[in-house]
Each structure stands twice: as C-alpha cells, then as structure tokens.
Amino acid sequence: MTSSLSQCDSHEASGLANPSSPSPPLLGRAWCHLTDTLWVAPALFLVVAIMVIPSAVAIGHSFTDWTPGYESPWVGLQNYRDLLSQPVYHEVLRNQAFLLIGLPLWVLFPLVVAALLYERVPAAAVFRTIFFFPAILSPAIIGILFRTLLADDGAINETVRSIGLGFLAQDWLVQANLVKPTLIIVLAWAGMGTGVVIFAAALSAVPTELFDAAEIDGASWLQRFRYVLIPSIAHVIVFWAVFQVVAVFLFIFGWVWVLTRGGPGYASTTMDFDVYQNSLNFGFFGLAAAESVLLFGIVLAIVSVGWLATRAVRRSRT
C-alpha cells in the first residue's frame, strides 16, 4: 500500500497515528500538514464555490417565492405543491418516463457493434473511429446538422422520397407522436461511440479462448453473444445501462434545446429543460428551484440503486 507516502511524518501511515514513533516538533508538523492540504485545496475550493454553494442556494430558495435581487419570502412547501398539482408537470414526468423506453436500444446497439468489432472484421480500427467520432461532438454543434436532417424538407425525407418511399416521410420534430421516438433514436446515435469504446475496452480483457472454445463446440454467433459475451462483461453492461438512465435525466437538455425547445407544446419537454424554461424564460424561479431539487432527488435514487445493482452483479461473478 501507499502507507509511507505521507511527507510530514514518514513513520506515520497518514491519518493513523503510530504511538511508538517519536513525534517531530508540534509546530513544524502542523505547518507541514497545513502546506500539505494546499495540494487538494484548489479542487475543493472550485467545486464548493461553483457547484456546492450555488446548489445549496437553489435548495434553500426552493422553499421561497424566489426573485433574484429582491426579497424572497418563505413559502414552505408551496412550490412543491404547485409543481405536483400542475398537469403540465405530469406531462413532463411522463415524457421522461417515455424516453426510458429507449434503454434496450441504447445498450444493445453499442454492445452488438463492439461484439462485431471484437470478432474479426476488416478495418476494425476504421469502424471504431467512425462510431467513436460523434461521441466528442456536443448537441449544440451536431444539433444544427440534425435539424437540417430531420426537417420536413430535410435530407432524410428527401432521401426517402427519392427512392419512392415517400409515405415514410414525416415531420419528425414537429409531430407530437413522433418527437419522443425521434429523440430516442438521436440519443442512440449520440451515445453509440462512448458505448462501443467502453464495451470494447471491457471485451479486450476477456480471454479469447472462451470464444474460441464456444466456436469449436459449434455455438452460433448469436449463441456466443448471448451465452459467452454478455455474461463475461455483465458488470460493464449494467454499469452502462445505469449511466444511460442517469444521462436521460442529467444530459438531455442540449438536445431538447437545439432540436425542439420542448415542443410541440410540451410533448418533448424534459425535467431539466423545464427547469431552464421555468426560470430563464418564464421567471418562476422558486418553482424551478423546487423542480431542480426533485430532479436531483430522482438522480440520487437512480444512482444509488444502480450502484447496488452493479455491485451485486460484480459479486455474483466472483
């Protein structure tokens, strides 16, 4: 272990005092510990100042009729009651739940691609690059492209019409019944690269003998996928699934903002977009604060359950 790394007292496993070792002068040690904390101080200062304190301010203001710059009277749980009694908010929650239908796609697509690339495919490195590149593009950048692709007279509809399948052409981002499925597909596209790289990295640690043996025994590709590949990286698959669920709550804002602005109506408004809209567009700051606290609570619950699930899978393997 790294017990001898503490510089202030080399006989001390940092934090654990060793009574048999002679203590250096107290003042010198205190000074040493003080300067030592300077290594971690910048990180602590930045996350506390920029993430923790503003979040605490938001939580506090969720119990007030918040108007930044003015007096914000205490209203107790009124914001939460208002929020939960709004039909619009129920629609937002339903939208969020609807998007989770995409989870099997978000897990299966990158898993299949990683599996195909793991077995012998010509120019596997080129394919990896192709799948991975979109992962570094943000919705703000790629969204411009997707808007032109998905528009009524956009490239997707043009292509469909030009090959005589015009009945498939739809106004993907404007029709209320299509906008959420479209968003699910776009998210599958955006998450593909990261998923492929994570699964590929996990697979590279799996001995190929497992697959060779299965192949010699006459297992088909599908059988190898189901009975060898999935069990051997089950913990990574569960981890990725949990991450995708969390991402739907944490990182979907950019796509909604660029592609639909939550519309048509509220048909594609997600929780994080609604927080933004309620505060910066409509000026319901207290309500938005309460909404962001609820969102935080949901994310915490998912992460806790997901953490336990990942641990359970990991344990069942060993």
Partner 1 sequence: MTARALSIPRTALVIVMAIPFVAPFLYLIATALRTRDDYIGSRVGFPQELTLSHVRYVWNTADLGRAMVNSLITSTIAVAVLILVSAMAGYWFLRHTSWMARVLLGLIVSLWVIPFVIYLLPLFVILSDAGLTDNLAVLGVVYAATNLPFGVFFMFTYLRNGIPSDVFEAAQVDGASTFREFFWIVLPLSRPALATLAALGFVWTWGDLLLSLVMLQTEDNYTLTVAASAFITRTDAGVQELAAAALVAIAPLIVVFLLAQRAIERGFVAGVGK
Tell me which residues in 85-124 interact with partner 1 (CB under 8 A): 109, 112-113, 116-117, 119-122
DSSP state of 74: B
Rounded CA separation 195/208 (Å): 21
Single out the residue of 93, 100, 149, 178 in contact with partner 1 (rule: CB under 8 A).
Answer: 149
H runs (alpha helix) in the chain: 26-37, 41-47, 53-61, 78-85, 87-99, 103-118, 124-132, 139-150, 155-162, 179-204, 208-216, 221-224, 230-232, 234-250, 253-259, 271-276, 285-317
Q: CB of 15: closest distance to partner 1 in angstroms? A: 2
Q: CB of 166: closest distance to partner 1 in angstroms? A: 14
Single out the residue of 296, 309, 313, 314 in contact with partner 1 (rule: CB under 8 A).
Answer: 296
Which residues in the 200-239 window bind partner 1 by CB under 8 A? Answer: 201-202, 204-205, 208-209, 212, 215, 221
- Evaluate the omega torsion of the peptide bond into residue 207 and state whether it is cis, within 30 degrees of 0: no
Which residues in the 20-39 window bind partner 1 by CB under 8 A? Answer: 36-37, 39
CB-based contact 139:187 (threshold 8 Å): no
Q: Does 10 bind partner 1 (CB under 8 A)?
A: yes
Q: CB of 91: closest distance to partner 1 in angstroms? A: 18
Which residues in the 275-294 window bind partner 1 by CB under 8 A? Answer: 275-276, 279-280, 285, 288-289, 292-293
Residue showing tokens 């007030």: 64
Q: CB of 81: closest distance to partner 1 in angstroms? A: 20
Rounded CA separation 34/81 (Å): 47
* C-alpha pair distances (Å), 217 with each of 121, 203, 210, 212, 221: 22, 21, 11, 9, 12
What is the rounded end-to-end Cα distance, in angstroms, of the chain?
23
Which residues in the 39-68 window bind partner 1 by CB under 8 A? Answer: 39-40, 42-44, 46-47, 49-55, 57-59, 61, 68
DSSP state of 73: -
What is the size of the binding site for partner 1 (CB under 8 A)?
Answer: 104
Report the residue number, 15 or 19, with the smaller CB distance to partner 1. 15
Report the residue number, 27 or 40, with the smaller CB distance to partner 1. 40
